[in-house]
Amino acid sequence: MFNKISLTGKVLLLILAMNTSFLFAQDISEEGNKLLQEIDRNLTPQSFESLKKIINIEPNGTEKEFVLFVLKKGNDKMITTFLSPKSEVGRSTLRLDENMWLYIPNVGKPMRITSLQSVIGGIFNNSDIMQLDYTAEYDVIEMTNENNEILLNLKAKTTSVAYDKLKMWVNTKHKTPSKIECYTASGMLIKTLNFKEIKDFGNGIIRPSVLETDSPLHKDYKAVMIYASIKPRKIDDEVFTLNYMGKVKDLRK
């Protein structure tokens, strides 16, 4: 009788411990996802326009620059158009959720592209260039403190996302990323993103203005993304359509 009661007690304690652990994990996940939403809004308004420069740097020091005008609405719509170099002017990209297209003037119709391709070459892929809200693509599965920063471990919600896992170090003062490591499902590091030079863009937007990346898959190659401006803007849904891709540059004020 004593042994049966003891066994039953151990089972109950085990069940209680498992439930407590599950609830604790739930609390961490909810707290982490709430922080991730805050990070998204600190990086960009829900609907905005921006101007940014991307610089590809080769091992020999050669640089190639691109200037893009960007419009984004909600967490699943983004359209960009190239302002320079001259050879790229008029090219546009459109992202609707995980679907992406490239428009080239004088070509019959927009072409489908993928997140892991790059319309500019270099280390930044199309997913990096047309980054949606992190909460649209990832869930927080773990949150810890590390070296006076918060470390979020993120898992992709679907297999169509460019990176299966992210490790995001968060600046606790500004609630924006300071570094992100991007991994495959097998745990291989694809690239590291370093967020630098906090800037006040106005309208309450205080965030890193420079994003630098390197990759163990592209030895000695680097790329830099520099934000010149970010500001809220109301944008009609019509802008985020295939038929509008050739007219995006006309929306720049």
- Secondary-structure breakdown of the chain: helix, strand, coil percentages, each rounded to the nearest 5: 25, 45, 30
Q: Domain holding 85: CATH number?
A: 2.50.20.10
User: Number of folded domains in the chain?
Assistant: 1
Query: Is residue 82 classed exposed, middle or buried when 0-12, 13-18 and 19+ CB atoms within 10 A define those classes?
Result: buried
Q: How far apart are the first and last CA of the chain?
A: 83
The radius of gyration computed from the CA coordinates of the chain, to the nearest angstrom, equals: 22
Amino acid 222: pLDDT: 96
The pair of three-digit structure tokens given for residue 75, joined into one six-digit string: 């967490």
The pair of three-digit structure tokens given for residue 172, joined into one six-digit string: 């606790």
Amino acid 106: pLDDT: 86
Q: Which residues contact 180 (CB under 8 A, 6 or more apart)?
A: 166, 167, 168, 169, 192, 193, 195
DSSP conformation letters of 43-107: HS-SEEEEEEEEEEE-TTS-EEEEEEEEEEETTTEEEEEEEESGGGTT-EEEEETTEEEEE-TTS
Amino acid 24: pLDDT: 41
Amino acid 7: pLDDT: 57
Q: How far apart are CA 139 and CA 70, in angstroms?
A: 26
Give pLDDT < 70 ranges for the chain: 1-28
In a domain, 98, yes or no: yes
In a domain, 24, yes or no: no
Residue 250 gets which letter from DSSP?
G
Q: Is residue 242 classed as helix, strand or coil in its secondary structure?
A: helix
In a domain, 3, yes or no: no
Amino acid 30: pLDDT: 86
Amino acid 4: pLDDT: 47
In a domain, 14, yes or no: no
Q: Which residue range is the domain that position 132 belongs to? A: 39-251
Alpha helices (H) along the chain? 2-43, 126-129, 134-137
Amino acid 27: pLDDT: 60
